[in-house]
Amino acid sequence: MNLQQLVEPDRVHKTVYTDPAIFDAEMERIFERIWVYCGHESQVKAPGDYHALTIGRQPMVMVRQGDGRVQVLYNRCPHRGVQVIGNLRGNTGSAFVCSYHAWSFHLDGSVRAIPLAKGYEGTRMTRDNPDCGMKRAARVDSYRGFVFASLVDDGPSLLEFLGEARVAFDDMCDRSPVGEVEVVPICHRVIQQSNWKFFMENQLDALHPSVTHQSTGISAGRVEKRLKAEGGSAPLYYHYLSTFASSFEQWDGVQTINFPRGHGILKAYMGLRPRDPDTLAYEALLEQAYGKAKMEEHLSRSIHHVLVYPYLSVQSPLQQLRCLRPISADKTLSEIWHFRLKGAPEAIYRRSLWYYNLVNSPATMINADDLENWTKAQWGLQSNGGDWVSFHRWYGDDRVENDVTYSNHGTSEAVMRNQFAAWSKYLTA
């Protein structure tokens, strides 16, 4: 595999989406090295609470220990290799117990008991051997309550890795009067029948909404207009949908900012500061907590989407987070989460819930349209109808400053070009 021949500045070879060997290389050189999002601290509140996830191809479990710290372990019994945790989430009490031969482990992964230990005497598998514990992720760290793990000792710190994309978590948390969010512990888990990269490209693709989501956007816009003509006003959630059908000129005016590690920001386009009584009451709470200037700073960040490349899409103003767990070249699990702003009124939470259900849920008219595109993209690229995927739109037009690429046009394919530049760096490192 010669990666240089597969990725050019303005186009990529189709096999980067379809080849199982390239998928394995991505898992090994990217996902199983970088900081991967495990979950939010509020997912594991009490000692023994756990949450299962994958990092690359590795089954892991995030667990709250007795001392309050969050640990991330390989979900594997050191005896015969069985996954110790079979459920997605739960509470394991004070220990993990393997269902096969009842080896048990403390919440930090160290071995607690090997049953019928006499049979192991004189072998290397005795409890003083650290290999008799569940192996830990090499590094675990968190930022504003969001927990990440890396499976290798070397490489950048979590803050270095996040870089400018850390604003995703600042922007979400700063909207709470106490500076914290809490996960709503129900997530949509969707298997996308497509390569993970389609999803990442699509998030900042401002060219597609008024095509892909046209029927929904236009219909919602018509209802909004009718309600207004009848003397009323449409609920805010119609606006969530109608903005998808904004004109090309409007989309072209929304800038993307593209960072060296592939992270990126799509600036705000929805205008999310209505002047209704609920919003005013909420803003009063924020002003009380932070003062007027800070509140304005927090609420006026121009963000719609923040991408933490290569697996996270955060819509911080609406407290949405989607996390990819790639399964194979043509299959990707996406976890779709949303959060509650601690200390904010219920009415503000409902907005987040509406967005979750109307836009990001797999059952909506928006996500379903995207899912169909990605599946058809996978099918198209598996065909012999052509070898290349084009990222030529506004090529050469973007502004680059200190390694950051600012699009002059919102619909520039700078996003994809930048993601593949980062991808190539990871794969050839």
Instruction: Kindly report the backbone phi and psi dihedral angles of residue 286, in degrees, each rounded to the nearest multiple of 5, phi listed first.
Output: -65, -40
Which of 419, 426, 428 has its CA nearest to residue 35?
A: 426
Of the pair 6, 359, the CB lying nearest Fe ion is at: 359
SS3 sequence of 332-374: EEEEEEEEEECCCCHHHHHHHHHHHHHHHCCCCCCHHHHHHHH
Q: In the block, which residue shows the tokens 């004109």?
A: 247
Give me the least distance between CB of 241 and Fe ion, in Å please: 12
Of the pair 171, 370, the CB lying nearest Fe ion is at: 370
Instruction: Kindly report the backbone phi and psi dihedral angles of residue 7, in degrees, each rounded to the nearest multiple of 5, phi listed first.
Output: -120, 115
The Cα–Cα gap between 413 and 393 comes to 5
Which residues in this chain contact Fe ion in the complex, by CB under 5 A? 370
Q: Which residues pair with 96 in a beta bridge?
A: 105
Pairing assessment for the beta strands 7-8 and 49-55 based on DSSP bridges: unpaired
Of the pair 266, 344, the CB lying nearest Fe ion is at: 266
Give me the least distance between CB of 367 and Fe ion, in Å please: 8
Give me the least distance between CB of 213 and Fe ion, in Å please: 6
As a whole number of Å, the CA-based R_g of the chain is: 23
Of the pair 104, 361, the CB lying nearest Fe ion is at: 361
Minimal CB distance residue for Fe ion: 370
Of the pair 335, 370, the CB lying nearest Fe ion is at: 370
Give me the least distance between CB of 249 and Fe ion, in Å please: 19
Give me the amino acid identity at 92. Answer: T
Of the pair 198, 238, the CB lying nearest Fe ion is at: 198
The Cα–Cα gap between 185 and 49 comes to 12
Give 63's DSSP letter. Answer: E
Give me the least distance between CB of 31 and Fe ion, in Å please: 24
Of the pair 183, 200, the CB lying nearest Fe ion is at: 200
Instruction: Kindly report the backbone phi and psi dihedral angles of residue 314, in degrees, each rounded to the nearest multiple of 5, phi listed first.
Output: -115, 125
The answer to whether 104 touches 98, Cβ cutoff 8 Å, is yes
Give me the least distance between CB of 111 and Fe ion, in Å please: 48
Tell me the CA end-to-end span of the chain in Å, nearest whole number.
Answer: 15
Give 118's DSSP letter. Answer: G
Give me the least distance between CB of 14 and Fe ion, in Å please: 21
Give me the least distance between CB of 247 and Fe ion, in Å please: 16
